[in-house]
Amino acid sequence: MERVQFQQEQMLPELKDLVQKSLFSQSEVKQIVKKRTQFETALVRRIPKKSDFLRYAAYEMNLEQLRRKRVERLKLEKTAPSISDYALVRRQFQIFERALKKFKSDVGLWIQYIQVAKREGARSLVGRITARRVQALQLHPRTPALYIIAASHELNHMSPSAARALLQRGLRLNADSVDMWREYVRMELGFVEGMKRRWTVLGIHEEGHSVTEAETTTAEKDTAPLTPEEIAAERGGDEGERARQAIMDGAIVKSVILSAAKALPSIKLFSSLEALIRSYPSQERLRTALLDHLYSVLKDTLQGDPRAVKMLATRKLRDLTSQENSDSVTDEGEGFVNALQVANESFSVAVSAGNANASAMAEAYVEFIEDWCKLPTLDPNLRVYLVASLRKLARRPNAPPLLQAAHIRLTSPSSEAL
């Protein structure tokens, strides 16, 4: 019980300050002491539970939220910070520190601690936990979420080089993590946009314009420290122009995509990267170039994979989906008809090839046909076209039986239920 008494003594100055500021009454302070004593007693028992720490931290968070609301409501005059202004937040951090001493292997606890520190704006503490002292990363080197949080912290505080180093380190140990590769690509996309904004400030978007020392000093007030790529791109002459053009064309992002494909050749990775590139707010020219590169790498990496063939074949359909409302994708527009035709023909060629994955390829094609045919908004003529393509493949010698079965399902009277 000596530990409990010690904690009670430590809280006296902050509670006295809260009363003096009229933020809490004497009776409320007594309730706070009583509640904290209960929590502290639970923590000093022989085998404390993680839930005891979390309940204690949640109580302190609610208490701090109440304090802030009362400060705002009472409109107290701004004075020099006193102990009650930071004590409740500090206590939250202390509770997590004590919890992590007991549960060092609990990844969720580390992540919660980092999130609380980020929410409270404790930059140095987040950096100490994740990047600088690498406490969490040393204990959990194979937990991608920690690297992602640490890199996000560095990016938010204008340190792209540190963020890149963290993600690269994490990928050396977690090369099979789709999430880490996606975040790495996202970071490099952000780097391209950041460079574009910087060059706009410096006025070096014009060909042949080099950066003076004075211009660089002015721009660095609003941007991150220079990386080697930035230094090369901001040189004058042809060398600088080529470096700038390569960055704007997504050379760095393309390199990361290629590395990801070599380390993790899976359709899940390619689907994740495609969704990221399509949704990221970048220039249309850059987005198109990156998608072209992604599909080229996909074609070379997963040759003959039915899911890869489907992804490649239906690219133009997804292009339409990202440009229009999903409700209007199946209209009779020429763009949609051409996209559906390209997808169907590409799939048909792959099915006709009769490779080792013939059965799986036929199954993917059947799924493609049935998914479109069951759409009530699909034009009847297009439905006839798709069913006819399926029939043509089903009648080929040695065609997989499931093609014929699918054709029968789609042409039977009950197919109206599809």
pTM greater than 0.85 (yes/no): no
Structure tokens at 194: 């950041």
> pLDDT tens across 78-125, in order?
778 889 889 999 999 999 999 988 888 787 888 888 889 888 888 778
Residue 377: which pLDDT band, with cuts at 50, 70 and 90? Answer: confident
The per-residue pLDDT for range 147-191, each reduced to its tens digit, is: 888 788 777 776 788 888 889 989 999 999 999 999 999 999 988
Cα 366 to Cα 390: distance, rounded to the nearest angstrom? 8
Phi, psi of 105 (to 5 degrees): -90, 0
What pLDDT does residue 199 have? 76
- The upper half-sphere exposure of residue 307, i.e. CA atoms within 13 Å in the direction of its Cβ, equals 9
CB-CB contact of 220 with 206 (8 Å):
no
Work out the pLDDT band at 24, boundaries 50, 70, 90.
Answer: very high
Tell me the CA distances in angstroms from 107 to 57, 111, 112, 113, one per residue in order.
Answer: 17, 6, 9, 10
Confidence band, pLDDT 50/70/90 cuts, at residue 216: very low
Give the burial class of 309: count Cβ atoms within 10 A of its Cβ; 0-12 exposed, 13-18 middle, 19 or more buried: buried
Averaged pLDDT score across all residues of the chain: 83
CA 354 to chain centre: 38
For range 215-224, the mean pLDDT: 44
Determine the Cα–Cα distance for residues 172 and 119; give it in Å rounded to an integer: 29
| pLDDT confidence of residue 301 | 94
Mean pLDDT across 182-206:
81
What is the per-residue pLDDT across 36-76, written as a single tens digit (0 to 9) for each?
Answer: 999 988 888 778 899 999 999 999 999 999 999 998 888 87
Give the pLDDT confidence score for residue 135 in this predicted structure. 62
Is residue 327 scored above 50 in pLDDT? no
- Any residues with CB less than 8 A from the CB of 312 and at least 6 apart, and which? 295, 298, 299, 346
Residue 365: which residues within 8 A CB-CB, separation 6 or more? 347, 348, 350, 351, 390, 393, 403
Q: What is the mean pLDDT of residues 211-230?
A: 48
Higher-scoring residue by pLDDT: 128, 351: 351
Identify the pLDDT of residue 74. Answer: 85
Please report which helix (H) or strand (E) contains residue 399, including its range.
none
d(CA 204, CA 210): 6
User: With 70 as the cut, is the pLDDT of residue 211 above it?
Assistant: no
The reported pLDDT for the residue numbered 103 is 87
| Per-residue confidence (pLDDT) for residue 132, from 0 to 100 | 44
224 vs 193, more confident = 193
Asked whether residue 280 carries a pLDDT value surpassing 60, the answer given is yes
Tell whether the model's pLDDT for residue 278 goes beyond 50. yes
The confidence score (pLDDT) of residue 172 equals: 92
Q: What is the pLDDT of residue 220?
A: 46
pLDDT at residue 415 greater than cutoff 70: no
- Measured CA to CA, the distance from residue 362 to residue 352 in angstroms comes to 9
pLDDT of residue 95: 93
